[in-house]
Amino acid sequence: MTEPDRTGPGTTGSTAGSATAGSAAAGSVTVAVRLPTVLRPFAGGAERVEVEVDGPPTVTSVFAALEGQHPALRRRLTDEQGAVRRHVNIYLGNDNIRDLSGLQTELADGDELLVLPSVAGG
């Protein structure tokens, strides 16, 4: 697995790379999720939602914690089988999680996921 580039648009820069996923696994980890305008109504209007994860921090565990805070949001991100919807892109830094380990991508304390809908047109 390649190490994700945590310096891109899905990070704040100040906490990127401050801990490794392995060292964070023992305690709770805070991860932020930035939402596009179209999904904000499902998160109470918030542009950025922080979730706390106990145990190994992965995109899956962040989505589970996010579902606990905003149940309607999870259905917009994943399908009935739990996979990321085709029209939704999730970035960790400059990397789409599909290019990393998908929903099993490991996260570090302070990481920020960026949710972007696919744009199509002609």
Residue with tokens 């696994």: 25
Instruction: Tell me which of 20 and 88 has the higher pLDDT.
Output: 88
Instruction: Tell me which of 14 and 80 has the higher pLDDT.
Output: 80
d(Cα 22, Cα 3) in Å, to the nearest integer? 13
Q: pTM of the prediction? A: 0.77
**Above 60 in pLDDT, residue 81?**
yes
pLDDT of residue 21: 41
Helix (H, G, I), strand (E, B) or coil at 121: coil
Q: List, in order, residues 6 or more apart from 3 with CB less than 8 Å away.
A: none
d(Cα 1, Cα 38) in Å, to the nearest integer? 32
Percentage of the chain beyond pLDDT 90 is 68
**Above 60 in pLDDT, residue 90?**
yes
How do residues 50-72 score in pLDDT, each as one tens digit?
Answer: 999 988 899 999 999 999 999 99
Residue 30 DSSP class = E
- The domain limits of the chain are 34-110
Contact (Cβ atoms closer than 8 angstroms) between residue 107 and residue 18: no
How do residues 6-35 score in pLDDT, each as one tens digit?
Answer: 555 544 443 333 334 444 445 799 999 999
CATH 3.10.20.30 fits 34-110, yes or no: yes
